[in-house]
């Protein structure tokens, strides 16, 4: 039997990067997956590629009504979700914390933090009714070892870390496990913003030099952890923060 056989999942930010790879890995492990992303065309194309075990829906995770609609779409298409991966995220450009406009700050916290609040309100009652569920939040190694230039982004991911642990304790009596995945920088669409400099081989090499295993994170690295933490193999794990960082946080 595949590791996620008969499981139903929602993955946010599934249009590209970590989210798309998590969706691919989940379908490979025989889960049925709703792919949610603000870019509806991207997730619908990916869902078509993945076959009948996947369904894409446009969803702005900063809006409660759209998150509720995504959860309802999951219920109507596949059933009540067993797994939710809160992967959608954004950042501000690497630079002085004083140069980040207020609207950008608000957007970072709305996407990275408030989205989890919206999803919890939409999905936790369904999981409580069944006395089971898995919630995986995607944080960042930047909340472990913050560096100048991404202060407000790191702060948002620090909030996600504390929220995840508090959720784990509060929801454990209902059989709901909550864990955090904290990747290091990856070559995703946000790489240029994270670096704050042109994406050149030289600039990449400078960042890679801070990672003991000598490379950036790849989406499959995160997807592999997301499969494990959602599987029965991790049934006694809750409240953990799993760095996927090649040793960066050491």
User: How far apart are alpha carbons 215 and 99 in whole angstroms?
Assistant: 30
| CA nearest to 84, candidates 31, 44, 38 | 31
Which of 18, 26, 153, 194 is catalytic? The answer is 153
Count CB-CB contacts under 10 A for residue 96: 11
Dihedral sign for Cα atoms in the order 186, 168, 120, 235: positive
Asked if 117 is an active-site residue, the reply is no
DSSP letters for 46-106 = HHHHH-TTEEEEE--TT-HHHHHHHHHHHHHHT-S-SEEEE-----PPSS-GGGS-HHHHH
The secondary structure element, H or E, covering residue 33 is strand 32-37
Q: Where in the sequence numbering do the catalytic residues fall? A: 153
């Amino acid at each position: 039997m595949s590791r996620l056989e008969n499981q139903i999942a929602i993955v946010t930010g599934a249009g590209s990067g970590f989210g798309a790879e998590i969706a691919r890995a989940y379908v490979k492990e025989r889960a049925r997956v709703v792919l949610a992303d603000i870019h509806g065309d991207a997730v619908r194309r990916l869902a078509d590629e993945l076959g009948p075990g996947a369904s894409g829906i446009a969803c702005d995770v900063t809006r409660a009504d759209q998150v509720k609609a995504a959860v309802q779409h999951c219920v109507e298409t596949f059933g009540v979700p067993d797994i939710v991966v809160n992967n959608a995220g954004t950042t501000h450009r690497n630079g002085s914390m004083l140069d980040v406009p207020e609207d950008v700050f608000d957007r970072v916290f709305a996407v990275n933090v408030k989205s989890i609040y919206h999803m919890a309100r939409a999905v936790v009652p369904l999981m409580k009714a069944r006395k089971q569920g898995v919630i995986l939040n995607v944080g960042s190694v930047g909340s472990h070892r913050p560096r100048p230039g991404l202060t407000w982004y790191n702060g948002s991911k620090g909030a996600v870390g504390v929220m995840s642990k508090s959720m784990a304790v509060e929801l454990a009596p209902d059989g709901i496990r909550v864990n955090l995945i904290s990747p290091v920088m990856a070559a995703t669409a946000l790489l240029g913003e994270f670096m704050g400099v042109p994406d050149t081989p030289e600039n990449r090499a400078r960042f890679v030099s801070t990672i003991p295993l000598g490379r950036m994170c790849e989406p499959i690295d995160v997807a592999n952890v997301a499969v494990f933490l959602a599987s029965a193999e991790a049934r006694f794990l809750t409240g953990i923060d799993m760095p996927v960082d090649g040793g960066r946080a050491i």
